[in-house]
């Protein structure tokens, strides 16, 4: 996807410091954080949203889960607590249509 901002970040076309990266996933701080810790975790593969996941993505999703756990550890919130979410669709507040998970922590959530 030529005009996808997260594809560009993944490919290094938009300079962004990676908190974590491997061949399938990338994690970086959200540009507009809503908590002291706010990390975006994405697959390198362009998948528009959670709705576009299929059986072929089972292993990738499992991998992303482990990456998110590692991000929580790297950010020091593994024990204090953190929240993981994905917005699916415009009605849920999805703005960037490249599948991503938000990992939020460093504050007390209600
Ligand atoms: P969404 O609302 O689509 O679930 O979330 C998109 C998130 O990506 C937002 O929290 C927004 O701040 C973040 N974001 C959008 N563009 C960029 C960018 O260029 N760099 C970074 N680091 N985060 C971005
Ligand atoms: Zn993309």
> Where exactly are the structural domains of the chain?
5-46+55-92
Going by pLDDT thresholds of 50, 70 and 90, the confidence category of residue 60 is very high
Q: 5-46+55-92 in CATH: which number?
A: 3.30.428.10
Examine the pLDDT at 1 and tell me if it is beyond 80: no
**pLDDT level of residue 64 (50, 70, 90 thresholds):** very high
pLDDT at 28 over 90: yes
Evaluate if residue 9 carries a pLDDT over 90: yes
Atom of ligand 1 at shortest distance to CA of 34? 10
Compute CA distances 75 → 12, 37, 97, whole Å: 22, 7, 25
Residues 66-83, mean pLDDT to the nearest whole number: 98
**Ligand 1 test: best mutation among 96, 97, 103, most atoms within 8 Å of CB?**
96
Q: What pLDDT does 2 receive?
A: 79
């Amino acid at each position: 996807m030529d005009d996808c901002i997260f594809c560009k970040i993944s490919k290094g076309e938009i300079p962004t410091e990676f908190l974590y990266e491997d061949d399938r996933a990338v994690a970086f701080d959200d540009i507009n954080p809503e908590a002291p810790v706010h990390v975006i975790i994405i697959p390198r593969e362009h998948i528009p949203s959670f709705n576009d996941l299929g059986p072929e993505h089972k292993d990738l999703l499992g991998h992303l889960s482990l990456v998110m756990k590692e991000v929580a550890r790297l950010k020091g919130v593994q024990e204090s607590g953190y929240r993981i979410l994905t917005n699916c669709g415009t009605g849920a507040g999805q703005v960037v249509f490249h599948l991503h998970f938000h990992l939020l922590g460093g504050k007390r959530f209600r």
